[in-house]
C-alpha cells in the first residue's frame, strides 16, 4: 500500500491529525513560551514574536493553543476510550447473554438517549465537582449509549454464526465467546465509529468548556480559550476564532480519515457491513 | 383499514411519550442526587454549623426519603409550580415563561428558514446527483457537522455586527420591543442555528429521496412511460414524505437543544442561557426544572415525528 493511493482528502486529514497529535504530545518542547506565562500586551496582533498574537491577559496565543491541544485531545481520547470499553462490553454481553440483562440494558439506553446529551450533561454537572475526572466520566458514560447500540446490533448478527455455535458446543464460556469470537469480527465497524465518537467528544468537551462548565482555569482547552477571548470579538479582535478554528480543523481532519477508513473496510467486504 | 386503528396507534404513541417523560423526570431527579451533599449545604456553604443545616433541611423537607421528595417535586410541576431558585429565591415558573417564549421564537425563526431551504437543497442534490452541486453540498455538510457552534456564531458577529454593523452584536430582546425589531435582533443567532442544522437535514432529505428513487416501483413507472414530473408527484413524493417529515422533526428537536450554546454566544435572554447560568451557580431546582422542560420539548417533537410518519405512510399502520 503506497502513499500515492491514499485519496488527497484523507492524506490532508492524516497529516493534520498527526500534526495535532505531535502538538499534544510534545507541547512543552514545541511551545515558544511557558504555559500561562504573560509575555506581552493584551490582545496584541499577530507578529514575528507572537505568531498568533496574544490573548485576553497577554499570554502567547500559539503557546496556549499548543497546550490546549494537549488538554483537549487528552480528555477526548480518555472519554472515547471509556465510552468504547463500556459500550462495547455491555453491548456484546447484552447480545450474547440476552434475556433480562439485554432488556434492562436496552431500555436504560433508550431512556438515556431520549434526553439530549448536552442537557443531561448539564444537569449532572450541576452537582458534580468540576474536575477532569468528572468530565471524562460524564462524557464517556453518556456517549457509551451510542457505542452500546452499535455493538449490540453488530454482535446480534455475529452471535448466530456457525463458528460461535461451534465454540459454544466445544464448551467455551460467555467471556471466551465475547472476547475471542465476537470482538475480532466486530472490530471493523467499531473502528470506523471510533473516529466519529472522538470528534463528538472533542465538540462536546469544547461546548462544555465554552459554557464555563468544562475544564476550569488556569488550565484551558480550546473551548475554554474561546470563552476567555470572546469579549474581544465586539472590538473586532478575532483571537477567540483561532482556538475555534483549531477545533474545527481537528474535527474535519479526523472526519476525513474516518471516512477513508470506512470506505476501505467496507469495500474489502464488498458493501456496507 | 378504518380510522379507529389509526387513532388507536396515535393514542398508543402519546401514552408511550407520557410514560417516557415520566421515566425521564425520574432520571433527571436522580441525576442531581448522585452526590452526598444536598441543597441545604449548597445554600449555606461549607462553613455552616450543623444546627443551621438541620434547621434548613427541616424547612425544605430534605429529611424525607428521596422518593417522597421526587413525588412532591413532580406534583408541584404538574400544578405549574416549578419551585423557587436557590440563588435569588425567585419563583422559577415566572422567571421562565418569558424566556421560554424567547427561545421558542428564536427556534421558530431558524426553522422557518432552514426547513424549506434544506428540502430544496436536498432535492437539488438528488436532481444533479454526483454533479458539482451535489459535491458542493456534501462538502458543506462535512464542514458544518465539524464546525463548533461558536465558530459559526463568532464569525457571524465579527463580520456582520462588528465589521459591517448590519446587526447588533448581542441579541438583547425585551418585552416592549416591536416584532420587526425583535426579528432584527434574532437574525444572527437564527442564521447560526440554521447553519448548524441545515447540513444534516439536507443530507437526510437527499438520502430519503434517493432511496425512494431507486425502488422498483419507480423503475416500473419509468418503464410504463410516465413522465418524470408525474413519477415524482404520484410515486416518489408520497413515499419520501414520511422520512422527510421525520428528519425535519428530529432537527427541530435538535434546534431546541442547539439553542443552548447559540444563546450564550449571542447573549440572548432565553432558556438555554438561564440553564447555563444556574448550572454554574449549582442552583439545582432551576437546573431540574429547565432540564425537564428541554427534555419534554425534545420528546414531544420526537413523538410528533412518529405520529406524522404513521399518518403519512400507511405501511406503518400495521405493526408487524
ipTM value for the complex: 0.82
Single out the residue of B29, B28, B45 nearest to residue B281, CA to CA.
B45
pLDDT for residue B208 is more than 50 = yes
* Residue located via cell numbers 467528544: A201
First to last CA, chain B: 15
Burial class (CB in 10 A: 0-12, 13-18, 19+), B6: middle
Joined grid coordinates for residue B208:
430519503
Average pLDDT rounded to a whole number, residues B297-320? 77
pLDDT for residue B223 is more than 70 = yes
User: Residue A271 has what pLDDT?
Assistant: 39
Q: Would you call A196 an interface residue with chain B, using a CB distance cutoff of 8 Å?
A: no
Test mutation, A125, A130, A211, chain B, max B CBs within 10 A: A211
Is the backbone peptide bond immediately before A80 cis, with ω within 30 degrees of 0? no
Please check whether residue A91 is in contact with residue A150, taking contact to mean a CB–CB distance below 8 angstroms.
yes
A255's enclosing H/E stretch is: helix A241-268
Distance CA A13, CA A7 (A): 10
* Residue located via cell numbers 473496510: A265
User: Residue A1 has what pLDDT?
Assistant: 53
Chain segment B120-169, per-residue pLDDT in tens: 888 788 777 777 888 888 788 777 778 888 888 888 888 887 778 787 77
Distance CA A149, CA A116 (A): 16
Which of B37, B151, B155 is facing A247, going by the closest CB pair? B151
pLDDT for residue B279 is more than 70 = yes
Please check whether residue A192 is in contact with residue A256, taking contact to mean a CB–CB distance below 8 angstroms.
no
Joined grid coordinates for residue A199:
470528534
Residue A189 main-chain phi, psi, to 5 deg: -65, -35
| Structural domains of chain B in order of their starting residue, each with its CATH number | 3-78 (no CATH), 97-309 (1.10.3720.10)
Question: CB B70: neighbour CB atoms within 10 A?
Answer: 16
C-alpha distances (whole Å) from B220 to each of A225, B213, B225, B229, B276 are 58, 11, 9, 15, 55
Smallest Cα distance from B25 to chain A, Å: 10
Neighbour-count burial for B193-232, b at 16+ CB within 10 Å, e otherwise: bbbbbbbbbbbbbbbbbeebbeeeebeebeeeebeeeebb
User: Residue B38 has what pLDDT?
Assistant: 63
pLDDT for residue B28 is more than 70 = yes
User: Residue A265 has what pLDDT?
Assistant: 65
Single out the residue of A55, A81, A79 nearest to residue A68, CA to CA.
A55
Question: Which are the contacts of B270, defined by CB distance < 8 A and separation ≥ 6?
Answer: B99, B100, B102, B103, B106, B259, B263
First to last CA, chain A: 23
CB contact under 8 Å between A124 and B282, yes or no, is: no
Each of the 273 residues of chain A gets a pLDDT tens digit; together they read 566 677 888 888 889 999 989 988 887 887 777 777 777 777 777 777 777 777 777 788 888 888 888 889 999 999 999 999 999 999 999 988 888 999 999 889 988 888 888 888 888 888 888 788 989 999 999 999 999 999 998 888 888 888 888 888 888 888 888 888 888 888 877 887 888 889 989 999 999 999 888 888 777 788 888 888 888 787 778 788 888 889 999 998 888 888 887 777 655 444 333
Q: Which residues of A touch B28 (CB under 8 A)?
A: 115, 120, 123
User: Residue B45 has what pLDDT?
Assistant: 66
In A, minimum Cα distance to B264 occurs at: A211
User: Residue B195 has what pLDDT?
Assistant: 86
CB contact under 8 Å between B150 and A125, yes or no, is: no
DSSP state of B233: I
In B, minimum Cα distance to A110 occurs at: B20
Instruction: Please state, rounded to an integer, the average pLDDT across all residues of chain B.
Output: 81
Test mutation, A119, A197, A206, chain B, max B CBs within 10 A: A119
Amino acid at each position: 500500500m503506497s502513499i500515492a493511493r491514499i485519496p488527497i482528502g484523507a492524506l490532508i486529514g492524516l497529516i493534520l491529525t498527526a500534526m495535532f497529535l505531535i502538538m499534544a504530545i510534545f507541547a512543552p518542547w514545541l511551545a515558544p513560551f511557558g504555559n500561562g506565562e504573560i509575555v506581552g500586551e493584551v490582545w496584541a496582533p499577530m507578529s514575528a514574536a507572537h505568531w498568533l498574537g496574544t490573548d485576553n491577559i497577554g499570554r502567547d496565543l500559539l503557546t496556549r493553543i499548543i497546550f490546549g491541544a494537549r488538554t483537549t485531545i487528552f480528555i477526548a481520547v480518555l472519554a472515547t476510550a471509556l465510552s468504547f470499553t463500556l459500550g462495547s462490553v455491555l453491548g456484546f454481553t447484552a447480545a450474547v447473554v440476552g434475556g433480562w440483562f439485554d432488556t434492562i440494558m436496552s431500555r436504560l439506553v433508550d431512556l438515556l438517549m431520549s434526553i439530549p446529551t448536552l442537557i443531561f450533561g448539564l444537569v449532572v454537572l450541576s452537582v458534580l465537582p468540576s474536575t477532569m475526572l468528572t468530565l471524562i466520566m460524564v462524557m464517556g458514560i453518556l456517549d457509551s449509549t451510542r457505542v452500546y447500540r452499535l455493538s449490540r446490533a453488530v454482535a446480534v448478527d455475529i452471535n448466530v454464526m456457525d463458528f460461535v455455535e461451534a465454540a459454544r458446543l466445544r464448551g467455551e464460556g460467555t467471556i471466551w465467546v465475547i472476547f475471542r469470537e465476537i470482538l475480532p469480527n466486530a472490530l471493523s465497524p467499531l473502528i470506523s465509529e471510533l473516529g466519529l465518537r472522538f470528534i463528538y467528544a472533542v465538540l462536546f468537551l469544547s461546548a462544555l468548556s465554552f459554557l464555563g462548565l468544562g475544564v476550569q482555569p488556569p488550565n484551558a482547552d480550546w473551548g475554554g480559550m474561546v470563552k476567555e477571548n470572546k469579549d474581544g470579538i465586539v472590538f473586532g479582535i478575532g483571537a477567540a476564532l483561532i482556538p475555534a478554528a483549531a477545533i474545527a480543523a481537528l474535527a474535519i481532519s479526523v472526519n476525513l480519515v474516518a471516512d477513508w477508513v470506512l470506505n476501505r473496510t467496507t469495500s474489502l467486504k464488498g458493501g456496507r457491513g | 383499514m378504518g380510522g379507529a386503528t389509526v387513532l388507536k396507534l396515535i393514542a398508543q404513541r402519546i401514552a408511550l411519550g407520557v410514560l417516557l417523560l415520566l421515566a425521564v423526570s425520574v432520571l433527571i431527579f436522580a441525576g442531581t442526587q448522585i452526590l452526598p451533599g444536598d441543597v441545604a449545604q449548597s445554600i449555606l456553604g461549607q462553613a455552616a454549623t450543623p444546627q443551621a443545616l438541620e434547621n434548613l433541611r427541616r424547612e425544605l423537607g430534605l429529611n424525607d426519603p428521596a422518593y417522597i421528595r421526587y413525588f412532591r417535586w413532580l406534583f408541584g410541576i404538574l400544578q405549574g409550580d416549578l419551585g423557587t431558585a436557590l440563588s435569588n429565591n425567585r419563583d422559577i415558573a415566572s422567571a421562565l415563561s418569558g424566556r421560554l417564549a424567547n427561545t421558542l421564537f428564536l427556534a421558530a425563526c431558524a426553522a422557518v428558514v432552514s426547513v424549506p431551504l434544506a428540502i430544496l437543497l436536498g432535492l437539488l442534490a438528488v436532481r444533479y446527483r454526483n454533479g458539482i452541486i451535489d459535491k458542493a453540498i456534501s462538502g458543506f455538510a462535512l464542514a458544518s457537522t465539524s464546525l463548533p457552534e461558536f465558530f459559526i456564531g463568532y464569525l457571524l458577529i465579527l463580520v456582520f455586527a462588528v465589521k459591517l454593523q448590519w446587526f447588533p452584536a448581542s441579541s438583547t430582546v425585551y418585552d416592549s420591543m416591536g416584532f420587526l425589531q425583535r426579528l432584527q435582533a434574532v437574525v444572527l443567532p437564527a442564521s447560526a442555528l440554521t447553519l448548524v442544522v441545515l447540513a444534516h437535514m439536507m443530507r437526510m432529505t437527499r438520502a430519503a429521496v434517493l432511496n425512494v428513487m431507486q425502488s422498483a416501483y419507480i423503475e416500473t413507472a419509468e418503464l410504463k412511460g410516465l413522465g418524470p414530473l408525474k413519477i415524482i408527484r404520484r410515486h416518489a413524493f408520497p413515499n419520501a414524505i414520511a422520512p422527510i417529515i421525520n428528519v425535519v422533526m428530529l432537527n427541530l428537536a435538535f434546534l431546541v437543544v442547539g439553542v443552548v450554546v447559540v444563546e450564550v454566544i449571542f447573549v440572548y435572554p432565553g432558556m438555554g442561557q438561564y440553564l447555563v447560568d444556574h448550572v454554574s451557580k449549582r442552583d439545582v431546582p432551576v437546573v431540574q426544572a429547565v432540564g425537564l422542560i428541554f427534555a419534554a420539548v425534545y420528546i414531544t417533537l420526537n413523538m410528533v415525528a412518529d405520529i406524522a410518519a404513521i399518518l403519512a405512510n400507511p405501511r406503518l399502520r400495521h405493526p408487524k
